[in-house]
């Protein structure tokens, strides 16, 4: 059964650097088996949003690799993730944000993947598409897409902060808005061949102020994959605005999983 861990909202907003800090006491023991983490970003973003999570985990002693998805197709993003996994020197925790959840669901069957962490992320089953995950749910009105004639979509500029990064500073939200990486919208209609969560233990971070997904949809997906769930007051940009919470969940996953014998 899904375990729900509620994370209290901090009394004051701190900078990403402060939130990402890790003390010496947090360092992982030399005997820990899973020491690698691979981070996969979602649509309309790139890997730079993981900086706070990266800083936190590397301070603890993890080896962290950030995938730069081309967002041109599911196959291309999975290939980019597999290239990153091939570089790992041992078992890894594979982490995906938003669309990145679809990517890690497909790529996560790789034998180097010991566990999966979904950060306000999609988690289709095999033979399902990402688009099917939205059926029966209502996306909040703040999240509005701007799809161009070539089939690539952005988050509408005027709605970006409200729909994607409401808890980010105005400056950070503006930078994310203006550095968007558009996604080929046809990727959402691509059926998956694999569902790694059926064979790998899973964790989910749910941002309770996420305006890109219906909250009922996020909880439905987490229940279906039998994820251990952490809820945190945050926007869809939770991977950037709550780096310590996300890093703590990844650390929990790495300390919990038992890698398959190779």
Q: What residue spans define the domains of the chain?
A: 4-8+17-256
Using CA of residue 155, residue 157, residue 160, residue 163, what is the dihedral sign? Answer: negative
For the record, the structure tokens of 18 come out as: 């402060």
Rounded distance, CA 1 to CA 226, Å?
Answer: 6
For the record, the structure tokens of 214 come out as: 């219906």
Rounded distance, CA 97 to CA 243, Å?
Answer: 12
Give me the mean pLDDT over the 66-70 stretch: 98
258 with 189: CB under 8 angstroms? no
Q: How far is CA 4 from CA 33, 113, 182, 209, in A?
A: 26, 24, 33, 16
Considering the chain, what is the average pLDDT of its residues?
A: 92
Q: How far is CA 223 from CA 48, 99, 210, 234, in A?
A: 30, 18, 18, 20
For the record, the structure tokens of 10 come out as: 């901090």
pLDDT at 25 over 90: no
**Under DSSP, is residue 204 helix (H, G, I), strand (E, B) or coil?**
strand
Rounded distance, CA 58 to CA 18, Å?
Answer: 15
Give me the mean pLDDT over the 99-104 stretch: 98
**Under DSSP, is residue 221 helix (H, G, I), strand (E, B) or coil?**
helix
pLDDT at 139 over 90: yes
Q: Which CATH superfamily is domain 4-8+17-256 in?
A: Alpha/Beta hydrolase fold, catalytic domain (3.40.50.1820)
pLDDT digits (tens, 9 = 90+) for 78-96: 999 999 999 999 999 999 9
pLDDT at 9 over 60: no
Q: How far is CA 160 from CA 74, 117, 138, 154, 188, in A?
A: 24, 25, 18, 9, 20
pLDDT at 18 over 70: no
For the record, the structure tokens of 42 come out as: 């979602």
pLDDT at 11 over 80: no
Give me the mean pLDDT over the 18-43 stretch: 82
Edge-to-edge strands of the sheet including 183-184?
145-147, 152-155, 183-184
pLDDT at 2 over 50: no
Q: How far is CA 180 from CA 48, 77, 100, in A?
A: 11, 16, 15
Q: How confident is the model at residue 258 (pLDDT cuts 50, 70, 90)?
A: confident
Least confident of 15-24, 41-50, 108-117, 183-192: 15-24
Q: How confident is the model at residue 128 (pLDDT cuts 50, 70, 90)?
A: very high
pLDDT at 1 over 50: no
Rounded distance, CA 157 to CA 161, Å?
Answer: 8
Rounded distance, CA 235 to CA 116, Å?
Answer: 21
When comparing pLDDT for 18 and 99, which is higher?
Answer: 99
> Of all residues in the chain, what percent carry a pLDDT higher than 70?
89
pLDDT at 23 over 50: yes
């Amino acid at each position: 059964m899904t375990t729900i861990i509620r994370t209290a909202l901090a009394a004051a907003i701190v900078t990403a650097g402060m939130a990402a800090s890790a003390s010496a006491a947090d360092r992982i023991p030399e005997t820990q088996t899973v020491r690698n983490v691979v981070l996969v970003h979602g649509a309309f973003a790139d890997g730079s949003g993981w900086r706070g999570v990266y800083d936190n985990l590397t301070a603890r002693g993890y080896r962290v690799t950030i995938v730069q998805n081309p967002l041109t197709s599911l196959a291309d993003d999975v290939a980019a993730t597999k290239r990153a996994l091939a570089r790992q020197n041992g078992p890894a925790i594979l982490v995906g944000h938003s669309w990145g959840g679809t990517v890690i669901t497909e790529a996560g069957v790789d034998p180097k993947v010991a566990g999966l962490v979904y950060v306000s992320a999609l988690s289709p089953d095999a033979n399902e598409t990402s688009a099917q995950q939205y059926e029966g749910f209502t996306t909040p009105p703040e999240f509005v897409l701007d799809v161009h004639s070539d089939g690539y979509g952005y988050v509408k500029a005027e709605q970006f902060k409200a729909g994607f990064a409401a808890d980010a500073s105005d400056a950070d939200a503006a930078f994310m808005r203006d550095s968007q990486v558009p996604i080929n919208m046809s990727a959402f209609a691509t059926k998956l061949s694999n569902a790694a969560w059926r064979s790998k233990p899973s964790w989910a971070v749910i941002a309770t102020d996420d305006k890109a997904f219906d909250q009922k949809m996020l909880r439905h997906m987490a229940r279906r994959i039998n994820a251990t769930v952490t809820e945190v007051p945050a926007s869809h940009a939770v991977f950037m605005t709550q780096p310590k919470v996300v890093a703590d969940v990844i650390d929990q996953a790495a300390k919990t999983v038992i890698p398959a014998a190779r």
